[in-house]
Amino acid sequence: MKEFKKILLSLMIALIFFVISKLFFNTHHSIILAIISFLVTLWTNEGLPLGVVSLLPILLFPSFEILSTNDVTTNYSKSIIFLFLGGFLSTQAVKPLALAIGI
């Protein structure tokens, strides 16, 4: 129930951002600001796990016709992302060994 309230709060903040930005920008820009505020609020209040929030743009941007799926997903496949992923995975692999030998 606690997570549901956090998600609802994020939706309300996104709606407020949309309405206020609609006064100054066109609909397309207002939707972008609302989605970004929704994602930032979800990220900061941890209404959803961070991994889920980081993948939401793949669903939300094409759904609201902001970017195509190919344009969004190309940002997830940069070489630096794979470098960090390899580092994180190698630390997870070495962690049990380090605990076993007492480091």
Residue 58 shares a structural domain with residue 24: yes
Residue 63 shares a structural domain with residue 82: no
Residue 25 shares a structural domain with residue 55: yes
Q: What is the pTM of this model?
A: 0.74
Residue 63 shares a structural domain with residue 80: no
Q: What is the mean pLDDT of the chain?
A: 88
Give pLDDT, residue 50.
83
Residue 54 shares a structural domain with residue 94: no
Give pLDDT, residue 100.
77
Residue 39 shares a structural domain with residue 88: no
Give every CB contact of residue 30 below 8 A, 6+ residues apart in sequence. Answer: 17, 18, 21, 22
Residue 60 shares a structural domain with residue 80: no
Domain containing residue 18: 1-67
Number of domains comprising the chain:
2
Give pLDDT, residue 92.
83
- Residue 70 reports pLDDT greater than 80: yes
Residue 77 shares a structural domain with residue 47: no
Condensed to tens digits (0 to 9), the pLDDT of residues 12-46 reads 999 999 999 999 999 999 999 999 999 999 999 88
Give pLDDT, residue 53.
87
Give every CB contact of residue 67 below 8 A, 6+ residues apart in sequence. Answer: 61
Residue 50 shares a structural domain with residue 23: yes
